[in-house]
Structure 1
Amino acid sequence: MIPTPPPRHRLPHAPAPVSWQDEPGTADRPPGPGFWAVTRHADALRVLQDPATYSSLPGAGELPLLRRLLSRQDPPQHTRLRDLAARALTPERIERFTETARERARTLLARAMDTARATDGVLDLATAVSDPYTALNLADLLGIPHADRRRMPSWTGPHALDDMTGYAPHLIVHRRRYPDDDLATVLAHDAELTSDELQMLVPLLLTTGLAPMRDAAAGGLALLAAHPEAYRELRDGTAELGSAIEELLRLSPPLLTIGRTAATETELSGRRVRHGDKVVVLLAAVHHDDQVFTAPDRLDLARTPNPHLSLGAGPHLCLGADFARLQLRVLHEEVLRALPELRLAGPVPPSGSGVTDSVASLPVRAG
């Protein structure tokens, strides 16, 4: 077990497992109404597994456009649409992507290493490998035409939701006209889905599969680069990759927070939560709950059990969790094969998105 720094996003002023936090304004944002910060694992599970009390529907002041996302729906509508989407995202369809993902990872790594060796010997494992790897995997799975993939960088920017929602009808029309073996084709030809529902599912798959997957991949590799002993354990087979990926997800979750709105007055860890209050699960804190995780500040590649919540819980458990794990497994296998050591070659700047806890770049030595 290897020490790792404490999380940067734990609230230093949280006096209790559930505490009220003010939202002061900034230069570009007005003050918010405040929220209940949830920092313990048991309370987080209560919130995420009880949609009747803690609703995913957008609260007062949030963008109305959010209501068009499946992730911001509650049962029974959410249950119906999720089940229909799950019929398209079958284990067989996901497994068929294994070799495509592997070839993509190898190609990106080889290209980045050739460029590094021809220049200064440094490759950016995030921008040159893991970022395009995860984006192109999603494009293949969803069926985004090659001509449209130039749009994808803008789908992680400040207007991403507007851009993706605007693109959804075009993708649906395209796949009805030119069907293929992809999710958009299956969904576009599902007679049980209305046009509005289709246009809700496509942005959901893009929002949950693009930026979060990119950040989980880069964040996990950054952790291994900062812990060379852990990397060596994976290289020599003394650590098992499956459990290691779960630990990397725990310490580098794709999202920092999961928000809900109280649908009724309730009590959470002794606190009176009013109807309409925002309740925010802080994953960095939850994943360091010492009542659940032994030595939570350590990177333990063999940690078991590892009940992290990086892929959600309850009705909103990540629909693409199997696809996410497959991508991470294949990427790490190929990085381990290509790089005998994962040696940092410079500072690792954070992404600064405020939504994820990942890195903007990951410079490492090519060999």
Structure 2
Amino acid sequence: MVPTPPPRHRLPHAPAPVSWQDEPGTPDRPPGPGFWAVTRHADALRVLQDPAAYSSLPGPGERPLLRRLLSHQDPPQHTRLRDHATRALTPERGRRFTETARERARALLTRALDTARAADGILDLATAVSDPYTSLNLADLLGIPHADRRRLPGWTGPHALEDTTGYARHLIDHRRRYPDDDLATVLAHNAHLTSDELEMLVPLLLTTGLAPMRDAAAGGLAVLAEHPEAYRELRDGTTEPGLAVEELLRRHPPLLSVRRTAATDTELSGHRIRHGDKVVVSLAAANHDERVFTAPDRLDLARTPNPHLSLGAGPHLCLGADFARLQLRVLYEEVLRALPELRLAGPVPPSGSEVTNGVASLPVRAG
């Protein structure tokens, strides 16, 4: 039996749904000014849905480069740019991509299983299957040339923002010269977007489509591996895959929290929030709010309704939410087909990130 780590949504120093948290220094980081931790679903929604009171603009001490990302913009600039990106991410584009994603998942699983069975019978379902599956899907969607795809793993590291911002210029120029059926081509030929605006959108699609999607996919599989009865129910058709995707996202959000800055003096759950205060919404905690979710610590793949916040809410609801759900559903269906039993073969170590909710590896038995 693999020991389960303590739930990461529990905040040991959060005595109330909204509470002030100190930020002590570490050997490589000076002390911070502190922040308001928001852990209740209703309060989280209020913060995420009110950009006039809670701004997404980078706060003091954050990298100025963040201002170039759509995720760190406020309306009306954010609204205009998001509308252009949303029009490029059409439902029809997603439907056309379904078969490509399915073929990729099957090929990766077949190769990984063959390799494992020829060796010790153990495969790393994260590094061998779900990680390349999600990164190559994004590469196809965005139109990243095959010669550049070796760079994808590096775009999930600490310098991802700098690297992808520099690469965006190259990709935009490339797709202007060599158009194809992909998002970069659609955006690069949009006469309403300036070069600077394109360099906000493309890095956002790269950074939010790589690490969070990778972590959601592997994290959901890890949850299923830790709950064999739920896996069997899903395999046997007792549970609808679309509902299962939502519950796995609730249990394992790809981002643990999101940060906002108070744009004005305001009030939240009886606490006075001052202009400039940092406000951190714990998505993991909000997803376990017993006021909203019955038995929140129980995995219920048929849970409905399931208003989790793992893909955000309000103006910054995940741009590619539908595409993310499609990828996850297809991946889980193909894993269910290839592996009648999903049995862990060792510990599932976390990635170690303080922000994303990833797993470093997911060792399972090939059967």
- Shorter-chain TM-score: which interval? over 0.9
Give the superposition deviation at 1:15: 1.1
Question: What is the CA–CA distance in structure 1 between the aligned matches of 2:217 and 2:141, rounded to whole Å?
Answer: 17
Give the superposition deviation at 1:240: 1.3
- Out of 28-37 and 187-196, give the one that drifted further: 28-37
- Within a 5 Å distance, the mapping from 1:303-314 to structure 2 comes to 303-314=303-314
**What letter corresponds to residue 345 of structure 1 in structure 2?**
A
Secondary structure of 1:123's aligned partner: strand
Give the superposition deviation at 1:298: 0.5
- Within a 5 Å distance, the mapping from 1:48-63 to structure 2 comes to 48-63=48-63
Secondary structure of 2:279's aligned partner: strand
Question: What is the CA–CA distance in structure 1 between the aligned matches of 2:17 and 2:144, rounded to whole Å?
Answer: 43
Aligned residues of 2:9 and 2:288 also touching (Cα < 8 A): no
- Within a 5 Å distance, the mapping from 1:310-321 to structure 2 comes to 310-321=310-321
Aligned residues of 1:23 and 1:32 also touching (Cα < 8 A): yes
Q: CA RMSD of the aligned region, Å? A: 0.9
1:330 corresponds to: 330
Aligned positions, number: 364
Give the superposition deviation at 1:7: 2.1
1:281-318 deviation per Cα after TM superposition (whole angstroms, max 9, x unaligned): 01111111100000000001111110000000001111
Give the superposition deviation at 1:10: 2.0
Question: What is the CA–CA distance in structure 2 between the aligned matches of 1:203 and 1:210, rounded to whole Å?
Answer: 11
2:66 corresponds to: 66
Secondary structure of 2:258's aligned partner: strand
Question: What is the CA–CA distance in structure 2 between the aligned matches of 1:284 and 1:82, rounded to whole Å?
Answer: 25
1:153 corresponds to: 153
1:85-109 deviation per Cα after TM superposition (whole angstroms, max 9, x unaligned): 1111111111111000000000000
Per the normalisation by structure 1, the TM-score is 0.98
Question: What is the CA–CA distance in structure 1 between the aligned matches of 2:155 and 2:202, rounded to whole Å?
Answer: 13
1:109-140 deviation per Cα after TM superposition (whole angstroms, max 9, x unaligned): 00000000000000110000000000000000
The structure-2 alpha-carbon separation of the partners of 1:6 and 1:28, relative to structure 1 and needing over 3 Å to count, comes to closer
1:178 partnered with 2:178: yes
Secondary structure of 1:299's aligned partner: coil
Question: What is the CA–CA distance in structure 2 between the aligned matches of 1:231 and 1:5, rounded to whole Å?
Answer: 20
Secondary structure of 2:22's aligned partner: strand
1:209 corresponds to: 209
1:25 corresponds to: 25
Per the normalisation by structure 2, the TM-score is 0.98
Question: What is the CA–CA distance in structure 2 between the aligned matches of 1:87 and 1:6, rounded to whole Å?
Answer: 41
Question: What is the CA–CA distance in structure 2 between the aligned matches of 1:182 and 1:42, rounded to whole Å?
Answer: 38
Give the superposition deviation at 1:355: 1.3
Give the superposition deviation at 1:5: 7.1
Aligned residues of 1:228 and 1:343 also touching (Cα < 8 A): yes
Question: What is the CA–CA distance in structure 1 between the aligned matches of 2:68 and 2:59, rounded to whole Å?
Answer: 14
1:99 partnered with 2:99: yes
The structure-2 alpha-carbon separation of the partners of 1:5 and 1:303, relative to structure 1 and needing over 3 Å to count, comes to farther
Question: What is the CA–CA distance in structure 2 between the aligned matches of 1:194 and 1:36, rounded to whole Å?
Answer: 36
1:227-257 deviation per Cα after TM superposition (whole angstroms, max 9, x unaligned): 0000000011111111111000001001000
- Out of 79-88 and 348-357, give the one that drifted further: 348-357
Question: What is the CA–CA distance in structure 2 between the aligned matches of 1:317 and 1:138, rounded to whole Å?
Answer: 18
Secondary structure of 1:120's aligned partner: coil
Question: What is the CA–CA distance in structure 1 between the aligned matches of 2:241 and 2:84, rounded to whole Å?
Answer: 32
2:189 corresponds to: 189
Secondary structure of 2:81's aligned partner: helix
1:345-365 deviation per Cα after TM superposition (whole angstroms, max 9, x unaligned): 111111111112221100101
**What letter corresponds to residue 291 of structure 2 in structure 1?**
Q
Secondary structure of 1:97's aligned partner: helix
Give the superposition deviation at 1:6: 5.7
Give the superposition deviation at 1:170: 0.3
- Within a 5 Å distance, the mapping from 1:1-367 to structure 2 comes to 7-367=7-367
1:189-211 deviation per Cα after TM superposition (whole angstroms, max 9, x unaligned): 00000010000000010111000
Secondary structure of 2:35's aligned partner: strand
Secondary structure of 1:96's aligned partner: helix
Secondary structure of 2:305's aligned partner: coil
**What letter corresponds to residue 152 of structure 1 in structure 2?**
L
Structure 1 unaligned regions, length at least 5: none
Question: What is the CA–CA distance in structure 2 between the aligned matches of 1:24 and 1:6, rounded to whole Å?
Answer: 22
**What letter corresponds to residue 236 of structure 2 in structure 1?**
D
- Out of 4-13 and 25-34, give the one that drifted further: 4-13
Aligned residues of 1:154 and 1:160 also touching (Cα < 8 A): yes
Give the superposition deviation at 1:32: 1.1
Give the superposition deviation at 1:20: 0.5
**What letter corresponds to residue 48 of structure 1 in structure 2?**
L
Secondary structure of 2:71's aligned partner: helix
**What letter corresponds to residue 130 of structure 2 in structure 1?**
S
Question: What is the CA–CA distance in structure 2 between the aligned matches of 1:333 and 1:285, rounded to whole Å?
Answer: 28
Question: What is the CA–CA distance in structure 1 between the aligned matches of 2:359 and 2:230, rounded to whole Å?
Answer: 19
Question: What is the CA–CA distance in structure 2 between the aligned matches of 1:56 and 1:82, rounded to whole Å?
Answer: 14
